[in-house]
């Protein structure tokens, strides 16, 4: 039984360069995090030779002449990872991705291939390695490779190999001798263990292997035993092959483009049935459902619904999809559907005997979906104030029925008036006399200011680009035409230098 271990170091930079081969000869560094806190997380050999190091800031990096900085792309890395798995999968169905043993596994990609039985199909392990490396070359990827019967030994070996070096082949029974010259860091001891080895003068795995195991265990415990086994190539590794992921997915293609949404529902129903059946078979429910519509314009249109609780209620889910489709119609004829769902354990709600009657969750969901289809996304829910002096600072959070409780003390003020906010506010032109508003022109109407109370000043967020500053007046406005005065909130935005009528008092 043989294993092939491949290791792609500096994965972020290799990922980016695999799609940009014209840049391979340049010194390239990859930066992660947001400006101004960007840091170098990966670099190619040329950049390293010029002095670029992990953790440098962008400016430090730019101080080194001719270094090109690229933004890290996690999506591209994931797709390359998938591609590597797919390529390896062509050689053997049994693959294991090693990452848990790496502190910064994110920047490295290590894959172990179980070569058992591949000899007849493809050839010797050397041949498999050669083929895999050829394919990696096509992808512009450099990886170190090692073939060995013992996975941890292969892993230790690839950690010490350069990515452009010849693949290592460790014959069976020679694990210990092959490991002996490698540095202790090849088996990745933790910081404390590394310090102990440093003090003991243990630099190589051979030196570590030479220590009497009993004595070592009495000093370092079971972790010492593990490290000793790793150093002698005797540590037992449990191969954990990647399993196909469980996915809830159904697709259909139409022979004729369909324009009517209702017609789609006839197809959607059975698709939903299938997903529900698959989920129920694993004692799961649908947490969210995503529908992708392939349009005759070669575009796709995607909608998704997410009930308050995971559900397997076909009728309910279909209704939600119908409402969502009504709110976001595709805009052209549909030639295919793809329905995917995210599974989750079904919810079980235990009603209390004396608990107040709450609306049925699924009916409430449908109602909220109906409202949302009318007022638009993000406009349904409960308003939750944000901790800020700034105006209009609230979030819309999902509506949740809560037991009634009295208002907190600090919201009870002796004088409290209702102000109806105008959304959007009305732009206004204001004339001032003696520093107070005297006339307001708004919505093509001319008002005379009978009384003005204020100004009330507020400002904030001066430390970032959201800086704001307002001067507010409560005004009583009159027009010649209307007999009743208008009590309004007049605001002067001091940053934009604009007046607005923002509210009307009851």
Partner 1 sequence: MTEPYVELHAASAFSFLEAASLPENLVEQAASLDMPAMALLDRNGFYGSPRFHAMAQKLKVRPHVGAEIAALDFGKRIVPPLWTGHERTGEPVRIPLLCKSRAGYQNLCQLITRFKLREETKTEGAARLDELEEFADGLICLTGGDEGPLASALVRSGEEEGRRTVERLVSIYGRENVYIELQRHQERQEEWRNQAALRIADSLKLPVVATNGVRYAVQYDREILDVFTSIRHGLDLSHAGRLLSMNAQRHLRSAKEMQNLFSDLPHALERTAEISQRLDFALDNLGYEFPRYPVGEGDTMERFLRQRVMEGVRTRYGHQGKRSMLAKATAQAQRELALIEQLGFAGYFLIVWDIVHYCKRNDILIQGRGSAANSVVCYALEITAIDPIAMDLLFERFLSESRGEWPDIDLDLPSGDKREQAIQYVYQRYGELGAAMTANVITYRGKSAAREVGKALGFDAATLSQLSSLVGHWEWRGPNDTMDHQFRHAGFDIAHPRIAKYLELCLRLQDMPRHLGQHSGGMVICQGQLDHVVPIERASMPGRTVVQWDKEDCADLGLIKVDLLGLGMMAVMKDCLELIPKHYGDPVDLAQLPQEEDIYKVLQQADTVGMFQVESRAQMASLPRNKPTRFYDIVVQVAIIRPGPIVGKMMHPYMRRRQGKEEVTYPHDDLKPVLERTLGVPLFQEQLLRIAMIAANFSGAEAEELRRAVGMRRSMQRMRDLEVKLRAGMTVNKIPAATQEQIVQSISSFALYGFPESHAASFALIAYASAYFKVRYLAAFTCALLNNQPMGFYMPAVIVKDAQRHDLKVRCIDIQKSDWSCTLEHESDDSVSLRLGLMYAKGLRQSSGLAIEDERRRSGGFLSVEDLTRRVLSLNKKELTQLSTVGALNSLGAVGHRRDALWQVEQAGKPVGPLLRAAEPLTTTKSADSPLVKMTTEERLVADYAGTGLTVGNHPMAYRRAEMQRQRICSARELRSLKDGSYVRTAGCVIARQRPGTAMGFIFLSMEDETGISNIIIHPDLYERERILVSTGRFLLIEGKLQNEDTVVHVKAHRVERLSVSEIEVHSHDFH
Question: Which residues here bind partner 1, judged by CB under 8 A?
Answer: 35-37, 56-61, 63, 196, 199-202, 210-212, 215, 218-220, 385-389, 408-411, 413-415, 435, 454-460, 462-465
CA distances from 442 to 133, 420, 434, 450 (A): 73, 17, 21, 16
Dist CA 15 CA 334 (whole Å): 36
Least separation in angstroms between residue 211's CB and partner 1 is: 5
Q: Give whichever of 201 and 483 is closer to partner 1, judged by the CB atom.
A: 201
Q: What DSSP state is assigned to residue 105?
A: G
DSSP lists the bridge partners of residue 203 as none
Dist CA 118 CA 4 (whole Å): 11
Least separation in angstroms between residue 434's CB and partner 1 is: 10
DSSP lists the bridge partners of residue 180 as none
Q: Which residues contact 436 (CB under 8 A, 6 or more apart)?
A: 449, 452, 473
Q: Give whichever of 298 and 418 is closer to partner 1, judged by the CB atom.
A: 418
Q: Give whichever of 174 and 196 is closer to partner 1, judged by the CB atom.
A: 196
Least separation in angstroms between residue 193's CB and partner 1 is: 12
DSSP string, 226-281: HHHHHHHT-------PPPPPP-EEEEEEEEEEE--HHHHHHHHHHHHHHHHHHHHH
Least separation in angstroms between residue 380's CB and partner 1 is: 22
Q: What DSSP state is assigned to residue 189?
A: -
Over the range 331-370, which residues count as b (16 or more CB within 10 Å of their CB) and which as e?
Answer: eeebbbbbbbbbbeebeeeeeeeeeeeeeebbebbbebbb
CA distances from 410 to 406, 407, 413, 414 (A): 11, 8, 7, 11
Least separation in angstroms between residue 386's CB and partner 1 is: 8
Q: Give whichever of 128 and 208 is closer to partner 1, judged by the CB atom.
A: 208
Dist CA 52 CA 40 (whole Å): 8
Least separation in angstroms between residue 203's CB and partner 1 is: 10
Q: Give whichever of 59 and 283 is closer to partner 1, judged by the CB atom.
A: 59
Least separation in angstroms between residue 485's CB and partner 1 is: 21
Kindly state the helix (H) or strand (E) to which residue 157 belongs, with its residue range: helix 151-160
DSSP lists the bridge partners of residue 305 as 289
Q: Burial level of 264, CB count in 10 A (0-12/13-18/19+)?
A: buried
Least separation in angstroms between residue 393's CB and partner 1 is: 9
Q: Give whichever of 482 and 496 is closer to partner 1, judged by the CB atom.
A: 496
Least separation in angstroms between residue 44's CB and partner 1 is: 20
Q: Give whichever of 36 and 244 is closer to partner 1, judged by the CB atom.
A: 36
Q: Give whichever of 66 and 215 is closer to partner 1, judged by the CB atom.
A: 215
Q: Give whichever of 257 and 381 is closer to partner 1, judged by the CB atom.
A: 381
Dist CA 504 CA 417 (whole Å): 11
């Amino acid at each position: 039984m043989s294993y092939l271990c491949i290791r792609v170091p500096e994965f972020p930079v290799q990922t980016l360069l695999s799609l940009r081969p014209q840049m391979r000869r340049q010194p390239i560094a990859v930066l992660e995090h947001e400006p101004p806190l960007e840091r170098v997380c990966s670099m190619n050999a040329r950049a390293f030779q010029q002095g670029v190091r992990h953790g440098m800031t962008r400016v430090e990096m730019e101080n080194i002449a001719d270094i090109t900085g690229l933004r890290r792309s996690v999506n591209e890395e994931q797709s390359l990872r998938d591609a590597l798995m797919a390529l390896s999968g062509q050689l053997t169905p049994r693959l294991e991705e090693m990452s848990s043993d790496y502190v910064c596994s994110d920047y490295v990609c290590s894959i172990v291939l179980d070569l058992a039985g591949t000899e007849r199909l493809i050839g010797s392990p050397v041949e498999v390695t050669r083929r895999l490396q050829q394919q990696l070359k096509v992808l512009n990827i450099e990886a170190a490779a090692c073939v060995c019967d013992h996975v941890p030994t292969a892993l230790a070996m690839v950690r010490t190999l350069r990515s452009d070096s010849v693949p290592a082949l460790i014959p069976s029974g020679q694990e210990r001798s092959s490991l002996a010259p490698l540095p202790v860091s090849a088996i990745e001891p933790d910081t404390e263990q590394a310090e102990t080895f440093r003090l003991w003068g243990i630099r190589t795995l051979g030196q570590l292997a030479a220590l009497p195991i009993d004595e070592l265990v009495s000093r370092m415990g079971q972790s010492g035993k593990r490290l000793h086994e790793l150093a002698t190539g005797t540590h037992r590794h449990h191969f954990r092959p990647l399993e196909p992921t469980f996915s809830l997915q159904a697709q259909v293609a139409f022979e004729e483009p369909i324009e009517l949404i209702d017609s789609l529902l006839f197809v959607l129903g059975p698709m939903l049935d299938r997903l529900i059946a698959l989920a129920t078979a694993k004692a799961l429910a649908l947490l969210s459902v995503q529908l992708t519509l392939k349009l005759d314009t070669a575009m796709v249109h995607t909608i998704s619904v997410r009930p308050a609780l995971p559900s397997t209620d076909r009728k309910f889910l279909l209704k939600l999809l119908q409402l969502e489709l009504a709110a976001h119609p595709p805009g052209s004829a549909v030639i295919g559907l793809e329905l995917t769902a995210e599974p989750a354990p079904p919810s079980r709600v235990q009603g209390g005997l004396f608990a107040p009657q709450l609306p049925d969750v699924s009916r409430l969901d449908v109602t909220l979906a109906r409202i949302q289809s009318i007022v638009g996304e993000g406009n349904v829910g409960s308003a939750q104030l944000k901790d800020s002096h700034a105006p209009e600072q609230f979030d819309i959070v999902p509506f949740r029925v809560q037991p009634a409780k009295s208002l907190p003390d600090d919201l009870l003020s002796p004088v409290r008036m209702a102000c109806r906010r105008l959304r959007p506010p009305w732009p206004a032109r204001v004339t001032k006399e003696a520093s107070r508003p005297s006339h307001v022109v708004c919505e093509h109407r001319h008002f005379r200011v009978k009384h003005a109370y204020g100004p009330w000043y507020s400002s904030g967020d001066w430390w970032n680009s959201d800086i704001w500053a307002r001067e507010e007046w409560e005004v009583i406005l009159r027009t010649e035409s209307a007999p009743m005065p208008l009590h309004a909130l007049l605001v002067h935005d001091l940053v934009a230098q604009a007046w607005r009528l923002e509210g009307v008092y009851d």
